[in-house]
Amino acid sequence: MLVIRPIRESDYASLYQIACESGIGFTSLPVNEELLRSKITRAVRSFSRRAHKPGAESYLMVMEDTESGDVVGTCGIEACVGLTDAFYHYHVGQVVHSSRELKIHNMVETLTLCNDYTGAAELCTLFLRESHRKGLAGRLLSRSRMLLMAEHPELFGAPVIAEMRGVSDEHGRSPFWQWLEQHFFSMDFPTADYLTGIGQKVFIAELMPKYPIYVNLLSKAAQEVIGRVHEKTQPALQLLKTEGFRCKGYVDIFDAGPTVEAELSQIRSVRSSQRRHALLAEVDKGSLYMIANTQLAQYRCTLVEAVLDDETGAIVISPEVADVLCVKQGDPLRVLAVK
């Protein structure tokens, strides 16, 4: 059985391995022992204390295979971005150059550096190891965050965003960054990506062009990848689209990958999930449900067959599942039907 739970200090070795496997462009997990340990400590602290409003909390979780005890994936939520470090994006806009007398009308796309998403909650750090990229494991990993947010909406800022990994090759070369590197930065994409991942962002303000960039002045290769995602990110993007996330014209400043957003109350899994209480019994044949407990420090979420009893308002789960979810008879659960 696969279960999502808060990360622990003992998960460091697994998180380090995931960071190595995730590759260049996965900014939120740089291969840096001090930073990874700091991320774990921050997450442990966030889950253990009960915040009263969105703040600098980070809810990093892992997917564990209960049969082997192996950590096979990770996902996280930043409660409120941009409170301690500037949170940069490019906004894709337009300017018009027009002369009525000459009958000339040209519309040009621009990229303007901004901090418009300051205060938003961010879905982040989603990575599933190759061995488990099958079936519904990816959906469980991604949507487990939404059930947590549905149960504790007061902990998260608005809107909810997700930065999608942009186009880069197997060597970590980004066509978009190559143009910026040539004209402004003089450092390669892996270096810029790593510095951002470890929190050293001051170089962005120091070296990034201060005025809007005219897209038609970029190289053709750079223009073609604006708003596009890495091939390995396509499934994650598609899943978020089915949840109601949309791109509102913001892209990453390094690889130009799109940032998508949605209001928490309008996310499909949030709207469709229900509160039920647990009824423990053997389940012979049921339907597939994503089920989470309603706790924070001991949050658990899994995907199992269960039976919904509309007359009693209960969800029938086996004692084994109850143990995995850390619940007992009558405890509240958040339930999402999986089609």
Catalytic-residue membership of 230: yes
Whether residues 248 and 280 share a domain: the answer is: no
* Residue 328, in any domain of the structure: yes
CATH of the domain at 81: 3.40.630.30
DSSP classification of residue 315: E
- Look at residue 199 and tell me whether its pLDDT is greater than 70: no
Higher pLDDT pick, 195 / 176: 176
Q: How far from 333 is each of 75, 136, 148, 285, CA to CA, in Å?
A: 21, 20, 11, 20
Percent of the chain with pLDDT strictly greater than 90: 69
Question: b or e along 87-113 (b: 16 or more beta carbons within 10 Å of the residue's beta carbon)?
Answer: bbbbbbeeeeeeeeeeeeeeeebbbeb
Range(s) of the domain holding residue 10: 2-89+115-268
Residue 2's DSSP bridge partners are 65
C-beta separation of 301 from 148 below 8 A: yes
Q: What angle do CA 240, 241, 247 make, to 5 degrees?
A: 100
* Residue 206, in any domain of the structure: yes
Return the HEC string of 49-96.
CCCCCCCCCEEEEEEEECCCCCEEEEEEEECCCCCCCCCCEEEEEEEE
Cα–Cα distance, 119 to 54 (Å, whole number) = 8
| Max Cα–Cα distance, the chain, nearest Å | 80
Give the count of alpha carbons within 13 A of 266, CB side only.
11
Tokens at 24, concatenated? 């260049």
Determine if the peptide bond prior to 159 is cis (ω within 30°): yes
* Residue 119, in any domain of the structure: yes
Q: What pLDDT shows up at residue 133?
A: 86
Whether residues 258 and 298 share a domain: the answer is: no
C-beta separation of 326 from 278 below 8 A: no
* Residue 106, in any domain of the structure: no
Whether residues 199 and 324 share a domain: the answer is: no
Q: Alpha-carbon Rg of the chain, whole angstroms? A: 22
Of 73-87, 152-166, 184-198, which gets the smallest average pLDDT? 184-198
* Residue 36, in any domain of the structure: yes
Choice among 89, 132, 171, 230 that is catalytic: 230
CA-based end-to-end distance of the chain = 19
DSSP classification of residue 35: H
How many domains does the structure of the chain reveal? 2
- Look at residue 197 and tell me whether its pLDDT is greater than 80: no
Domain-ending residue, one of 243, 268, 293: 268
Cα–Cα distance, 233 to 241 (Å, whole number) = 12
Q: What is the pLDDT of the chain when averaged over all its residues?
A: 91
Whether residues 26 and 64 share a domain: the answer is: yes
Q: What pLDDT shows up at residue 200?
A: 64
- Residues contacting residue 317 through CB under 8 Å, at least 6 positions apart: 278, 279, 280, 283, 291, 304, 306, 325, 333
Q: How far from 178 is each of 25, 219, 317, CA to CA, in Å?
A: 14, 9, 53
Mean pLDDT of 159-183: 88
Tokens at 173, concatenated? 């070369």
CATH of the domain at 304: 2.40.40.20
- Look at residue 193 and tell me whether its pLDDT is greater than 80: no
Question: Cα 67 from chain centroid?
Answer: 26
Whether residues 246 and 328 share a domain: the answer is: no
Main-chain dihedrals φ then ψ at residue 148, nearest 5 degrees = -65, -45
* Residue 129, in any domain of the structure: yes
Reported as a pLDDT band with limits 50, 70 and 90, residue 23 is confident
Percent of the chain with pLDDT strictly greater than 70: 94
pTM to 2 decimal places: 0.90
Mean pLDDT of 265-293: 95
* Residue 35, in any domain of the structure: yes
Reported as a pLDDT band with limits 50, 70 and 90, residue 147 is very high
- Look at residue 309 and tell me whether its pLDDT is greater than 90: no
Q: What pLDDT shows up at residue 166?
A: 92
Q: Classify residue 193 as exposed, middle or buried by CB count within 10 Å of its CB (0-12, 13-18, 19+).
A: buried
Cα–Cα distance, 5 to 10 (Å, whole number) = 13
